[in-house]
Structure 1
Amino acid sequence: MILKPLFRHLSMAALALTSALSQATIVEFQTSHGNIQVNLHDESTPKTVENFLTYVNNSDYVDTVIHRVEPNFVVQGGGFKYDGDISLDPISTRGSVDNEPLWSNVKGTIAMAKVSGNANSATSQWFFNLENNSANLDLQNGGFTVFGQVIGDGMDVLEAIEDVPLCNSTPIENYTSEQCSNNDVPAYEDFVTIYNIVVVDSSTSTDGDLDKTPNTLINQPDPDDGGNGGSSSGGSFAWMSAVMLLVLGRRFTKK
Structure 2
Amino acid sequence: MPLPRDVPFVPWDEFLRDRFDWQQGEHVTFVGNTGSGKTNLATQLLPMRDFVVALATKPSGKDKTMSSLVRQDRYQKVTAWPPPTVIGARSRRIVLWPPFERPEDIHQQQVVLDRALRDIFAAGGWTVFADELFYLCKFLGMSRLFEVFWSQARSLGISIVGGTQRPAWVPLMAFNQATHLFMYRTTHDADLKRMGGLGGLDDRLIREIAPRLPKYHALYLNTRDGEMMITKAEKR
TM category, shorter:
under 0.3
How high is the TM-score relative to the length of structure 2? 0.26
**In terms of Rg, which structure is larger?**
1
1 or 2, which has the higher helix percentage? 2
1 or 2, which has the higher strand percentage? 1
